[in-house]
Amino acid sequence: MGEQVVTFRLQESSAARLVAVRVCLVFALPLAAVLAGCGATAHEAGSGRPPADAPAARCRSGPAPLGSSRVTVTAVVRSHAVAYRRPAARPFARFDRLNVNRFPNVFRVLSALRAGDCRTRWYRVQLPIKPNGVTGYVRAEAVDTGRVRSRVLVDLSARRLTLFRNGRRALGTTVAVGSPATPTPTGRYYVNQRLIPADASGPFGPAAIGISAYSTVLTGWTQGGPIAIHGTNEPWSIGRAVSNGCIRVRNDVLRRLFKVTPAGTPVLIRR
C-alpha cells in the first residue's frame, strides 16, 4: 500500500465560501500523505462596525464564549494567520489561506476577546495541528467567521457514530474504529478538510471527512498521521476495531454524512 497513489478532488465547504474560495482542483498525493493509512486494515504489531451615525457602543472588555450545543462558530483564514499562546505574545504557529492539501485553513472558534468599543480583537480557536486539541489566539482581522449547526459524536466502545443537526439526532450508524495497536484518538476535534477520491471504489470510498486529530501511534506518517471519517472498500470491517485510527462508515451513509458536515463541524470522540 505504501506505493499506492490516490487522486483527490477538493470539496468546497460552506465555511470556505465565506471568503469566496473557489476550489476546483484535482491533485494526486501518496495515500499515506493524506490520511494515516486509514483505508487499510491494521495488522497486529468578526464583529461588524455600526453605522456612522449610530451612537458609540460600549461593552465590558474581556473574553466571551461563542457557540452553544446547537451552533458552533468557525473561522476561515483570509490570507495569513498567526497563532499565539496569549494575545500579542510570541507566535507559535502560522497558517496560509490553504493547507498542505490545498483546502482552506479552518479553525473552530471557542471565544472572542472584545474591547470596550464592542469590537472583537482576538479569537481563541482550536487549531488543526499537534498536539491534539491545541488552542491559540488569532487576530480577528485575519479570519472570516460563520456558523455551523451540525456536530458528530463517535462512541468507540459502542462503535457508533451519531450526527446531530440543530441539537437533534439526525443520523446514527455503526462504524469501524482503530485497532488496539493503532487506536482512534479520543478528544474534541472538528472537521478541517473534506476530500473526494477520484476512485470511489478505493479504500476511502466516495469521500473522506478530515478532522483535526492525529494518530498518537503512526507519528512517522507524512503530515503526521491525520485522522478522518471515510468510506471503505472493506464493508466487512464495519463494526470492528481494525483500522489504523480512522473511522469507517458504509459508503451510502458516508455520502449522506458528507453533505451535512461542513468544515468547522465539532467531532467528539469518546470511549
Instruction: For residues 84 and 86, give the distance between their C-alpha atoms in angstroms, rounded to a whole number.
Output: 5
CB atoms under 10 Å from CB of 207, counted, come to 23
- Catalytic (active site) residue 230: yes
Q: Strands 150-155 and 177-178, how do they pair?
A: unpaired
Name residue, grid cell 455551523: 148
Picking from 108, 111, 172, 120, the residue whose alpha carbon sits closest to that of residue 146 is 108
Cell (9 digits) for 160? 457508533
- Catalytic (active site) residue 246: yes
Catalytic residue among 24, 38, 43, 246: 246
Instruction: For residues 226 and 35, give the distance between their C-alpha atoms in angstroms, rounded to a whole number.
Output: 5
Beta-carbon-side half-sphere exposure of residue 15 (alpha carbons within 13 Å): 35
Contact (Cβ atoms closer than 8 angstroms) between residue 196 and residue 10: yes
Show Cβ contacts of residue 259 under 8 Å, excluding neighbours closer than 6 positions.
none
Contact (Cβ atoms closer than 8 angstroms) between residue 112 and residue 123: yes
Please give the positions annotated as active site: 230, 246
